Amino acid sequence: MSDTAVVGAATLVSRVLGFLRNAVVGALFGQTWKADVLTAVFNIPFNLRKLVAEGALSTAFIPVLSHTLETDPTRTSSRALVRSMVTLQCLVLLPLTALAIVFAQPLVSVLAPFPEPERQALAAELFRWFIPYLFLVSMSAIMMGVLNTHQRFAVPAISPVLYSLFVILSLLLLFPLMDIYSQIPGVLVGGLAQIVFQWFFFRRLGYTLLPTRHFWTVELKQILAKWGPALSTSGIALVNQQVSMSLAALLPEGSVAALGNAIVFWQLPAGVLSASIITVFYPRMCRQFAQGKPADASISLGQALRLLLFLLVPAGVFLGLFAQPLVALAFQRGQFTPADSLLAGKVLTWMSWGLFLSGGFSLFQRYFYASGDFKTPLRVSLAWAVSDLAVSLTLMWTSLGVQGLAIGGVVGFLVGASLTAIMAYRRKGFSGGWSHLWFLLRVALAILPVVLVFQWSLTLTGSWWSSGLTLSSAGWFVLEGSLAIVMYLGGTYLLGIRARELFAVRTRKEGEEDAQ
């Protein structure tokens, strides 16, 4: 089984559980103002982790760690580097967490500007409990980066499953006692569980999370030199996503929750397909550039891009076609009404257009990072954010409402993906553009019959999902969804695309002599 498939399978379980978490919240609170507050506040530390954990940190950390492994096979340098990173995270995040707890009210008033005092007070109180998760996930991210660099992908991919399980159990078991606060124990215990689960495998490679007094090393300075631009790029993404949530808070009740629920569905294929591919190929490209093999890195980029085309283009189309059924079947129960399903489904339909664009944008960013170029992604991210914000501000005050924010996101990803692809071709020697376009054309031709059959089926069945999850609606969903997948795979096969060959790509475990 390829590394990409292993990561994808583990990530699928994690994303499904994340989706179930939102389904539970929807059943308990619907798309009411309480759900708006919970979604907005939970989104803050979840986005901040991209700055200090999985996003900017891993982007800067993995290339330097890969280089130390290449130059020092004894791992003395790499172990010292990891301890330096742990020390830096402690020195930065622990004081920041304390300050965030003390100044929760003014921070939340900016990040989640609900106009009602009751919502503001609740948001600040929840924020104080959620923000410590940021430190826990940052420690987990260091361990993930180490394991991924050593070509150990399964354990880091599985660990978020534990987090999601604890959050769901916390909601289900504690809601009768704690109401809106019932998610708090799950977030904190789940964050700690990710560290505990990876500890054995992390230690087996000879690493530790103990801080060190002598942490200001040359390697750490190299990471910080890369982390600065990466932090700026991730900061732009963070601000952009946070602004979307903040703008949604200014719209009618239910807008924040509708946007959050749509994002959960959107993140399922984005996380399972896009993130798993990038998780595997980014360390590989880093190592190839560290070995002075840019041509090999370009080949890896092409392989990853074809996987994204093969998976994300149809996933985006299917997500758009099945947006309304998905939301209704998954969420429409308890306090979640048909009107809630309709609004979240409309938002998801628009967001589906940006699925492949988002994955392509992230992949090309990682290619530049692997080559040591952190400035180009920063400049492109500025263009992406400005495009997104301009369209969002223009459309959100129209009849589209929160749907305008989704359209802005799609336009932003289109700008970002296009610019990074063009620059990779012109500056970094990425080749094979016409072959990739031909590959995309074949994928599109394979999808076309699926769209036509789905639209035709509506004339026969009508809106079979309107009553939510029933035996009949579940049957229609399984039937139409299975037919769509079979038709697409059959179409790609007839057009000469062999899925087995695409997934046969494995990362080379170069220089690995560890016991398995």
Asked if the structure places residue 316 within a domain, the reply is no
Predicted pLDDT of residue 208: 83
Separation of alpha carbons 466 and 463, rounded Å: 6
pLDDT tens track for 11-68:
677 777 877 887 787 778 776 778 788 878 887 777 777 666 555 566 677 778 877 8
Higher pLDDT, 132 or 8: 132
Asked if the structure places residue 205 within a domain, the reply is yes
Q: How many residues does the chain have?
A: 516
Contact 331, 254 (CB under 8 A): no
Predicted pLDDT of residue 500: 72
Predicted pLDDT of residue 387: 92
Find the mean pLDDT for residues 261-277.
80
Predicted pLDDT of residue 507: 39
* In the block, residue with structure tokens 């040591």: 372
pLDDT tens track for 307-332:
899 999 999 998 888 888 888 888 88
pLDDT at 510 over 50: no
Separation of alpha carbons 248 and 161, rounded Å: 29
Separation of alpha carbons 339 and 255, rounded Å: 12
Contact 292, 381 (CB under 8 A): no
Asked if the structure places residue 193 within a domain, the reply is yes
Predicted pLDDT of residue 445: 93
Asked if the structure places residue 305 within a domain, the reply is no
Find all residues with CB under 8 Å of 5, minimum gap 6, and list them: 503
Q: Where are the alpha helices (DSSP H) in 353-432?
A: 355-371, 375-395, 402-427
The sign of the CA dihedral 356, 361, 367, 370 is: negative
Higher pLDDT, 165 or 267: 165
Asked if the structure places residue 515 within a domain, the reply is no
pLDDT tens track for 213-232:
777 877 777 777 766 666 66
Find the mean pLDDT for residues 358-385.
88
Find the mean pLDDT for residues 388-395.
92
Tell me if residue 211 falls in helix, strand or coil: coil
Higher pLDDT, 446 or 375: 446
Neighbours of 125 (CB within 10 A): 18
pLDDT, mean over the chain? 82
pLDDT at 493 over 70: yes
What is the distance in angstroms between the CA of the first residue and the CA of the last residue of the chain? 16
Contact 398, 251 (CB under 8 A): no
Contact 289, 372 (CB under 8 A): yes
Predicted pLDDT of residue 119: 81
Q: Which amino acid is at 153?
A: F
Q: Identify the band that residue 499 occupies on the pLDDT scale cut at 50, 70 and 90.
A: confident
Predicted pLDDT of residue 268: 79
Of 69-73, 401-405, 495-499, the range with the highest mean pLDDT is: 401-405
Nearest to 384 by CA among 231, 236, 226: 236
- The token pair at 149 is 């660099």
Which residues span the domain enclosing 204?
1-226
pLDDT at 240 over 90: no
Predicted pLDDT of residue 79: 84
Asked if the structure places residue 16 within a domain, the reply is yes
Contact 25, 38 (CB under 8 A): yes
Contact 212, 81 (CB under 8 A): no
Contact 171, 23 (CB under 8 A): no
Nearest to 127 by CA among 41, 187, 197, 54: 41
Predicted pLDDT of residue 481: 84
pLDDT at 497 over 80: yes
* In the block, residue with structure tokens 């263009």: 383
Neighbours of 280 (CB within 10 A): 26
pLDDT at 414 over 90: yes
Neighbours of 508 (CB within 10 A): 12
Predicted pLDDT of residue 428: 66
Contact 333, 27 (CB under 8 A): yes
Number of folded domains in the chain? Answer: 1
Asked if the structure places residue 175 within a domain, the reply is yes
**Share above pLDDT 90 across residues of the chain, in percent, rounded to a whole number:** 12
Separation of alpha carbons 64 and 87, rounded Å: 17
Find the mean pLDDT for residues 490-496.
88
pLDDT at 411 over 70: yes
Predicted pLDDT of residue 516: 36
pLDDT at 422 over 80: yes
Neighbours of 353 (CB within 10 A): 19
Nearest to 360 by CA among 419, 409, 318: 419
Q: What one-character-per-residue DSSP string does 436-492 give?
A: HHHHHHHHHHHHHHHHHHHHHHHHHH--TTTT-S-HHHHHHHHHHHHHHHHHHHHHH
Contact 359, 312 (CB under 8 A): yes
